[in-house]
Amino acid sequence: MDKLLYVAMSGAKETLAAQEANNYNLANANTTGFKAALSAFQTRSVSGPGYASRAYATAGTVGWNAADGEQQATGNALDVALQGPGYLAVQDLSGNEAYTRAGDLHVDVNGQLVTAGGSPVLGDSGPISLPPASSVAIGADGTVSVVPAGQTPNTVAAVGRIKLVNPPAATLTRGTDGLYRTTDGTPAAADANVRLASGVLESSNVNLPGCLVNMIELSRRFELQVKALHTADEDGQSSTKLLQSGSSG
């Protein structure tokens, strides 16, 4: 009976963990540049003295789906999409360097170029600030150019260049804020091969129908584990009654 309890208890717990990862993907199905989280189940043996006959399941995220999302034209000069592998460098709430694929940028009230989440976009020498301008353009290499306010369209000035990086995926982790960071905290080197397209955004690569099907499957799996727990409890009660009747006889 205890074997059944181990299997059912751990199965129900880890199914909830897998459901949480699936719900995380569903919640970000419309998040610009989001990469779907991947999860997997593994079998673990129960350590300790005695015969190794107990095992339980564990579930966890094993990275993310690196496939590019679809590119959608917006016509907004401050919307950019990475062409292939790479990331935009931004500054997180702690002031440290982090990375994102979300290219829906805008200029805040302080004149800083920031992401939709409010993270300052980093250039070669820190956050990029823009002077009052009648227009802004972002080049394929990340160069940010403006036409200063009051100047003719032919008066174009470069005010900075977005830091573009492409560190190996194995050296990155994704935080709860959706930003990527190097595992050792060392800023990644700029990569001149990373390119941008302006006026477009990369959509999330979440497979929405697949997530919905997976949600139903995980819900049924959880119900099965709970039913197994009830069965183990009923078997235990029946065994106790049999022992009691045997001892009384």
Q: Which residue has the higher pLDDT, 72 or 242?
A: 72
Q: Are residues 57 and 77 in the same domain?
A: no
The winner for highest mean pLDDT among 9-13, 48-52, 156-160 is: 156-160
Q: Are residues 186 and 78 in the same domain?
A: yes
Beta bridge partner(s), residue 160: 144
Q: Are residues 158 and 180 in the same domain?
A: yes
Q: Which residue has the higher pLDDT, 36 or 225?
A: 36
Q: Considering its fold, how many domains does the chain have in total?
A: 2
CB 50 within 8 A of CB 60: no
Residue 248 has pLDDT above 60, yes or no: no
Among 53-62, 130-139, 177-186, 189-198, which is the least confidently predicted range? 53-62
Q: Are residues 106 and 171 in the same domain?
A: yes
Q: Are residues 155 and 105 in the same domain?
A: yes
Residue with tokens 């709860």: 176
Q: Are residues 105 and 174 in the same domain?
A: yes
Per-chain mean pLDDT for the chain: 88
Q: Spell out the long-range contacts of 181-190 with Cβ–Cβ below 8 A and sequence spacing 24 or more.
A: 181/92, 181/96, 181/97, 181/98, 181/99, 185/96, 187/89, 187/97, 188/87, 188/89, 188/97, 188/99, 189/165, 190/89, 190/124, 190/163, 190/164, 190/165
CB 77 within 8 A of CB 198: yes
Q: How confident is the model at residue 38 (pLDDT cuts 50, 70, 90)?
A: confident
Can you tell me the distance from the alpha carbon of 10 to that of 44, in angstroms, rounded to the nearest whole number? 10
Return the pLDDT at 94: 94
Q: How confident is the model at residue 53 (pLDDT cuts 50, 70, 90)?
A: low
Domain end (from 185, 202, 219): 202
Q: Are residues 139 and 196 in the same domain?
A: yes
Return the pLDDT at 39: 80
Q: Are residues 197 and 212 in the same domain?
A: no
- The average pLDDT across 83-110 equals 96
Among 9-13, 40-44, 128-132, 209-213, which is the least confidently predicted range? 40-44
Residue 233 has pLDDT above 80, yes or no: no
Q: Are residues 88 and 135 in the same domain?
A: yes
Return the pLDDT at 237: 74
**How large is the C-alpha radius of gyration of the chain?**
26
Q: Are residues 170 and 82 in the same domain?
A: yes
pLDDT digits (tens, 9 = 90+) for 192-230: 999 999 999 999 999 999 999 999 999 998 898 888 888
Q: Are residues 86 and 190 in the same domain?
A: yes
Domain end (from 164, 184, 202): 202
Q: Are residues 144 and 170 in the same domain?
A: yes
pLDDT digits (tens, 9 = 90+) for 12-30: 888 888 898 899 999 999 9
What is the domain range of residue 190?
71-202
